[in-house]
Structure 1
């Protein structure tokens, strides 16, 4: 029961907080008669605020999440969603829409609380199962929201503002479950769980603690001489100590070659994925204006989410040795993603654009799942949040630079088609980086194999 209720409440929250029927039609809504904003205002002045806010708030929210033990930040996220959609439904003007993007950036930054809360209230034996439940709930809510919006628009012929009200109602429902979640008594850094450790504790974080099972009198005597007291290991840590823990863990994790390679792809590809997803609606609106045609954005988002989930599930069954062929696979599939983006921006056919978008997102979901698994397989649970957080932070930093130069009116302020040429070239560059990395890895491996073969006859003779 201690696992059931927190997981159930968290899944309910995940479904309704991601059930947003208005999201696939946000650009059409902002540029339509309800808000009457121009394409330049939406693309160059409103949407970039989300990127900058997410980047600025991510690290402070990460620390606050751990210090406040998750639940208060979950409530903050739920509140931010409600405020976001109240503004979207009622307010007018460029500045209020920019304020809306700030609150949505706060809500997005607070997602770390949703995906890490459950680890503080259940035992490690249940981690894999509850993680699957929570992520599945979020994906189901997103797909259901997109499909609901499309059906309401196509069949019931509701106005776009009514989709915003439905989204607001879903956010209000999502505001309720977090209040019933138990308040955790521990966290990963500021409030550690009491443990008994040996003298071989290797860094500040205690993540690589060597647990011992003592059975004899001699063992108990040894324990008393090398283990700190329970009071010491369960104390709360201040900010400077936590920052030292994070730095020690950061240096420990990123000195590993394979983890660094997958993290590099994570950061680079996530940056490009964010840009394509954020501005795809503006591209679709340019190709097929919602004021003149019935649009099918909801079906496209639903299909891409569901196929992405299926691709993620298939990862465990693909007969690929990712440790051997990972770099070349990333090269080939990144090149495919580049082709999808270039098709979207070049051919200007809404159906090819929709199809390329679905293939693009499905490929990304497959590869990010592989990257997550490859990174997580070499980490203990206490380092997940740090590594994934750093990767996402680097992605947001790159995205902010890309947005500032390419999208923002302060920078080049390129038109939407030229932007997608840039994003296609960006993924082609990622492909080139991992092509070179793959060739270097294969050359190194072949050289090592030749050395082994050249030394084996000598070893045989000596025997």
Structure 2
């Protein structure tokens, strides 16, 4: 209690009321403009059209795989750099890489130049971790839920507005795809300028941690409590105090003798990450959801990346209207609605979760297969919306299930590892199925393979889920017998 009272007093003294508002508004503004890209739903028609005049083989088998490879290679170094550089420089780097990507999309010509473009886009994707983790370093933990919802709403709104704007400009005013890319460049440039106004954090999760005069008392409390995760809990409780130290104030000057920021060595950080990794994945429940996360995200990336190519195959943009922007807007909006609804669903995920993962993975397999074989663009659009909505629902549930019993350090680690495994699997699939150095299969054959991939995921989790339900049923049946036996013994005076 003494520790909590001291923490509360220091909060009142050091963190001005409403200090969360400015960084949240700046970050949401950045997220909105960084994702307001009207040209993105029309990327494949643009690359295949007269502006770039690339062939389908060049786009699908030589250019698009570069994003997958660069994302995988950059993910872990960017994860460490984000924490070491305290987030803001990496967000600025993301804005710069988006500007370079869209500038090259306007003026770069030839396969090699567009491959470099994909590399810079890989940088912008890998650095998204800085955007989603920055806010936790500058606000108190009692604001985490609110600011997270604001930041994610900003990105979804940007995606939706961008898709709708692109579709209206193409369908109603007949703007060229080149003009859409100009608008996208302007939007990401605004995001880049906005990123410079973000306050610089003074701490991070691993490399830069704040300590104060209460640390010794905290350690004593941990020893008495015997809690395995006590260190992380109390450290997080203390660190939040320092998240918003006002500069050039008497309170800050008076507090210098009690607080300091300590830099941790890379070796120590890696050792801590490895210990946390072993501890987290020792849980069967967490491991199960993480396996689904990695497997499904791999397939999701492949379907999303090459869906425009499938639509172009079914209904070439040179001979029919393009409604890619509308489809992206509807799928994003519907995904946001379903995520909201999921928060009110009451179900025993520990018992039925794996079977539901199997069921919905099977639905996704059917949706992808229908997209591939029907040959009707409107059916393709409908199945795409269904596919994205189901994935959004499941990944939200998986996120909650994984994060429910994890502290912030492990939360970041587990999500990073899951994404890395997903990208590693996606890279393997890309090398074998898509890349011209591998099989270099056509887009229709690729989607048959993706449908089969989701069917395999469904089978794996059906078997695991069935085993889990049977085990839980046996456990529930054995528990009453055990209790009856104990009560019987008590009645006979044996206990």
TM-score range, shorter chain: over 0.9
What residue in structure 2 maps to residue 222 of structure 1?
none
Matched, 1:323 2:350: yes
CA 1:239–1:342 in 2, change beyond 3 Å: closer, same or farther?
Answer: same
Q: Please show how residues 21-100 of structure 1 align to structure 2 within 5 Å.
A: 21-100=38-117
Asked whether the equivalents of residues 204 and 244 of structure 1 are also in contact (C-alpha less than 8 Å), the reply is no
Find the partner of 2:137 among 86, 111, 120.
Answer: 120
1:260-275 equivalent positions in 2, closer than 5 A: 260-275=287-302
Partner of 1:207: 232
Other-structure match for 1:296: 323
Q: Which residue among 168, 172, 181 is the counterpart of 2:185?
A: 168
How much does 1:89 deviate? 0.3
**Which TM-score applies when normalising by structure 1?**
0.94
Pairing 1:152–2:172 present: no
Q: How many residues in Structure 1 have an aligned counterpart in Structure 2?
A: 447
Using the alignment, how far apart are the partners of 2:451 and 2:268 within structure 1?
A: 43
CA contact (8 A) 1:35 1:92 kept: yes
Query: What is the CA–CA distance in structure 2 between the aligned matches of 1:241 and 1:205, rounded to whole Å?
Result: 19
CA displacement 1:49-89 (0-9 Å, x = unmatched): 00000000000001000000000000000000000000000
Structure 1 residue 204: deviation in Å? 10
Q: Which of the numbers 417, 425, 429 marks the counterpart of 2:452?
A: 425
Query: Which consecutive segments of 4 or more residues in structure 1 shift more than 6 A?
Result: 201-205, 210-213, 230-233
Instruction: Give deviations 1:234-269, integer Å, cap 9, x for gaps.
Output: 421011011011111111111111111111111111
Alignment CA distance shift 1:260-1:232 (3 Å): farther
1:48-447 matches, within 5 Å, as 48-194=65-211, 196=215, 197-199=218-220, 200=222, 206-209=231-234, 234-447=261-474
Gaps of 5+ in 1: 214-229
Measure the CA separation in 2 of the matches of 1:231 and 1:438: 52
- Structure 1 distance, partners of 2:236, 2:448, is 54
Deviations 1:70-128 (A, max 9, x none): 00000000000000000000110000100000000000000000000000000001001
TM-score (structure 2 length as normaliser): 0.88
**Stretch deviating more after TM superposition (448-457 or 115-124):** 448-457
Cα distance in structure 1, aligned partners of 2:364 and 2:313: 22
CA distance in 2, matches of 1:206, 1:233: 18
SS at match of 2:209: coil
Q: Deviations over 1:379-424 (max 9, x none)?
A: 1122221111111001000000011111001111111011000000
Conservation of the 8 A alpha-carbon contact between 2:203 and 2:261:
no
Q: SS of the counterpart of 1:35?
A: coil
Whole-Å Cα distance in 2 between the matches of residues 263 and 432 of structure 1?
17
Q: Distance in 1 between matches of 2:399 and 2:420?
A: 15
Task: Please list the CA deviations of residues 285-331 of structure 1 after superposition, one character each: whole Å capped at 9, or x if unmatched.
Answer: 01111111111000000000000011111111113222221001101
Residues of 2 paired with 1:145 and 1:184: CA distance? 30
Alignment correspondent of 2:5:
none
User: 1:300–1:358: 8 Å Cα contact kept in structure 2?
Assistant: yes
